[in-house]
Amino acid sequence: MKGALNHPIPPILETIPAALLWTSTTADVLAYVSDDRKWLSETARRGLMLGLLGAASASSFGVLAYLRKPRHLRRVVPHRDLWNAAITSSYLLSLRHRNDRRAGRSAMLFSGLGAMLIGLSRYFYAVKLTSKALEDAFRSGFVAMAHRGRVGFYRTDSRSILELDGLHVEKNLARKIRKGVYDVRVNQDFEGTIRGCADRESTWINEEIIQAYTDLHRAGKAHSVEAYQDNTLVGGLFGVSVGGAFRVESQFYRARDASKVCFVALVNRLRERGYVLLDLWVQTDHLARFGAVKISEEEYLARLRKVLQLQRNVV
């Protein structure tokens, strides 16, 4: 996963303004201590203005990108470092204006513009995650992930997919499936399955995501495949189904090969019901052993658009 996620705002639009703002803030503090350093004060003033203009540009890029996509997608917001730098710099410029230290009207204009646009983008980021947002994200090729308590939407440079007629099952796993070691069920305990997927040391699934996917399940567009042993849930997977496409979001196991058995059952079910596209998100060696292949994001999105209008049902 590392390095595969693209932030929607080009990094240069965030790193340069943030560095400029923090450097100028430091220079301004030094100039404030000693009024004899007029050149330092003037340099700091110009740096703060340019940094806030850059911050406003980053936020404008985010706002415009937000408006181009379904309005539920919280996919564009400057990083917290740029946000903190801009607020600090705006406060310093307001102090300059109050103390008549040549802040100037242009500086105040840039300060207000920067704060307004960044605040607007932060508002977009704070919109509550809903099942509608998840469906819109699926249709647009985005994946919802929680990081440090906040949910964002991401795309990958490439996608892992499995052609439904290209499934490869290793002999040991096939033998276990024939023996019926696990009782495989569909949508028996969706919430238990997603919580099982979240029950690990490092996870992208937080409570907000659990509730949104559970609501999507109640709407008939998120499904789970589960493995039971003695009526106890020992593994499973969950994913989203829209049109003729299904995306596996996550899986877990508490007994050997339980999630693999669920995966094979899912592929067989999708093939029987006429599904066309199975999205596995990020390619791994584990998925490759099942026959999964990696394709470009452009090819994936083109294939996704073709199957969204199909009428298919996992159940």
Q: pLDDT class for 43, splitting at 50, 70, 90?
A: confident
Alpha-carbon torsion (268, 270, 272, 277), positive or negative: negative
Together in a domain, 117 and 150: no
Together in a domain, 82 and 201: no
Lowest mean pLDDT among 26-30, 93-97, 226-230, 243-247: 93-97
pLDDT at 299: 95
CB 168 within 8 A of CB 291: yes
pLDDT at 309: 93
pLDDT tens across 66-123, in order?
A: 555 444 343 444 455 555 666 666 666 666 555 554 445 555 555 555 555 555 555 4
Together in a domain, 295 and 163: yes
Domain count, the chain: 2
pLDDT tens across 221-233, in order?
A: 999 999 999 999 9
pLDDT at 23: 72
Residue 134 lies in a domain: no
Together in a domain, 152 and 50: no
Residue 1 lies in a domain: no
Together in a domain, 63 and 119: yes
Together in a domain, 74 and 164: no
Domain span at residue 258? 145-307
Q: Going by C-beta distance under 8 Å and a sequence separation of 6 or more, which residues neighbour residue 259?
A: 227, 235, 236, 237, 251, 252, 253
Of the three residues 99, 127, 155, the one that is the final residue of a domain is 127
Together in a domain, 52 and 160: no
Q: In this structure, what CATH number is given to the domain that contains residue 227?
A: 3.40.630.70
pLDDT at 74: 39
Residue 231 lies in a domain: yes
Which tokens hold the place of 221? 């567009």
